[in-house]
Amino acid sequence: MYIFINSLKNVIRNIGRNILLAIILLAVIVGCLTALIIHTTSKGLIEDYMALFGAKVYINPNSSKVSVMSGRQSEQIIPLPEVYAALADSDCLMGADLSCQVPSVSDTLLGLGELSGGTAVPIAPNGGAFTKFPTMNVKGYTNPEQLDDFIEGYRGLIEGRFPVKDNECIVSEDFKQLNNLHLGEIIELAQGMVEHNPLSLEVVGFYFDLTQNQFGSAVDAPAAINVRNDIITNYHTAFDFAKSDPRVDTAAYYLKSPELLYVFEAEARAAGLSYDYLVTIDESAYLRVVEPIKGMGSITLTFMIILLTLGVLIVAILAAVAIRERKFEIGVVRAMGMKKHQVALGLVFESLIITIICLAVAIGIVLIITQPISDMLLVKQLSINEPQDTSTGTSMMYAGMQTSLTAQPPDEMQVVINMQAVVMISLVCLLLVFISSLVGIAQITKYEPIKILTERN
């Protein structure tokens, strides 16, 4: 204990020398901590981006082969549903969103717009038996709750719950009122084009719907395209319902990491995906968002390495000079019987005390300066990485094809002192303490007290 107290007093006794050391340490710690915070924050942002956007897979027709494809049957152009289903089970994925839409009819239910639009006319597909024209759409989704309309608030559950099990559904409030539906009621549907393929669904929820129809905002749009007639269920239910004409309307796959793209593509090819399709992630969007942040991360990391190297060198030199100046003091305490390891411990305590004080001051300074520095760096990086041309060309809406991401680079980065930065700066401080102590310890082990005192006297 006395060693620690003595070290504490020594920090004050040698205040002049220690102030110089503290200034260097403070500069190193402030620099490193600022760099670390910006680096870890930017790293976190990149990881978040990867989780949200960067790993989204696009399966697009290869433009160089489009002309060849256009001469084929549609089944050859559009990947088979089995391919999508197989890919959805890939280990490379953190998730997959598939959807399937089946135009439907019902003997007992009316569709909005059916009465006014007069769309319930018989048609004769393929010259065969007449069936009813579709008046509603059964739409199946892997994650109905995660639909953009629900997330963005254009639709919202007002009663009941989302479908969880097979053969459950939710319908719009307008559809409910039109057909006087109640929770738990079973509705009977059939495919519009196929007479004998019934589907029974239990109504488990109702939602308000503020979305617009494809051709305008009128609620009384023709029944077949009226979004208020959507009957939302899970993907499996809709897919099974569409057995005679299974079709995947949209498919979005989210890789665990962008690096898994090539593995995923190999799986897709093995599952039967033609080479007429490209399996890609949106690199341009990825670069547009990630590059400025990545640039900041690189700059701060480089800065930190240079600063730390210089800092360690200066601290080592200062420690060597300081210990030479205190050689006599060490000789005296050794002559009084203090052991080498006690002297060393005293030096470690002194370095530790100075470093902790510097760290505390540094945290205060960093809290003030980091955000402006981060903003400045981000502005610079954004100007460097400004996109030359962001046009994405024509989008062909094949099943499974996603349009280019609209993700934009962040115009600000909220930096916070995170746990990773705290751990790293603690390690940096320990390194500085270690270096300064090591230099001192290396020096004191070389000398015997009698030699130090004799030299002095």
Partner 1 sequence: MSLLKLNNVVYRYEGGKKNVLKGVNVVFESSLIYTIIGKSGSGKSTLLSLIAALDVATKGQITYLGTDMRELDRDNYRARNIGVVFQSYNLINNYTAIENVVLSMNISGSDIKNKKQYAYELLETIGIDFETANRKVVKLSGGEQQRVGIARALSHNPDIVIADEPTGNLDSETEDEILAYFDILAHKENKCVIIATHSDKITNIGDKVYRINDGRLSEGKTKR
Helix, strand, or coil here: 231?
strand
- Strands 198-209 and 277-281 turn out to be unpaired
Q: With respect to partner 1, which residue has the nearer C-beta, 243 or 340?
A: 340
**How near is the Cβ of 449 to partner 1 at its closest, in Å?**
6
Q: Where does 119-162 show beta strands of DSSP type E?
A: 136-141, 155-160
> Which of residues 13 and 165 has its CB atom nearest to partner 1 in the complex?
13
What is the rounded radius of gyration, in angstroms, for the C-alpha atoms of the chain?
35
Question: Rule CB under 8 A: which residues touch partner 1?
Answer: 2, 6, 9, 13-14, 329, 331-339, 342, 448-450, 453, 456-457
Cα(404)–Cα(283) distance, integer angstroms:
10
Collapsing DSSP states into helix, strand and coil, what is residue 217?
coil
Structure tokens at 143: 């994650």
Min CB(416)–partner 1 separation in Å: 43
The residue among 69 and 332 lying less far from partner 1, judged by its C-beta, is: 332
Give me the least distance between CB of 334 and partner 1, in Å please.
Answer: 8
Distance, CA of 405 to CA of 395 (rounded, Å): 12
Nearest distance from C-beta of residue 353 to partner 1, angstroms: 17
CA distance 209 to 173: 7
Residue 17's SS3 state is helix
Comparison of 82 and 448: residue with beta carbon closer to partner 1? 448
Tell the smallest beta-carbon distance from residue 34 to partner 1 (Å). Answer: 35
Dihedral (Cα; 396, 401, 404, 410), 10-degree rounding: 160
Minimum Å gap between C-beta 349 and partner 1 is 14
Nearer to partner 1, 152 or 455 (CB): 455
- In angstroms, rounded to a whole number, what is the distance separating the alpha carbons of residues 139 and 148? 14
How far is residue 395's CA from residue 392's CA, in Å, rounded to a whole number? Answer: 8
161 to each of 65, 101, 136, 170, 204, how far by Cα in Å? 45, 21, 21, 8, 6
CB of 6 to partner 1, least distance (A): 7
Q: Which is closer to partner 1, CB of 67 or CB of 457? A: 457
- Min. distance of Cβ 2 from partner 1 in angstroms? 4
Q: Nearer Cβ to partner 1, position 120 or 453?
A: 453
On whether the CB atoms of residues 186 and 108 are closer than 8 A, the answer is no
d(CA 323, CA 440): 6
Residue with Cβ nearer partner 1 (182 or 456)? 456
Nearer to partner 1, 6 or 101 (CB): 6
CB of 457 to partner 1, least distance (A): 5
Candidates 247, 241, 243, 252; CA nearest to 136 is 241
- Angle between helix 340-384 and 2-13 (nearest 10): 60
Q: Which two tokens stand for residue 340?
A: 């080498």
Nearer to partner 1, 6 or 197 (CB): 6
Q: Which residues pair with 187 in a beta bridge?
A: 201
Q: How far is the CB of 345 from partner 1 (least distance, A)?
A: 13
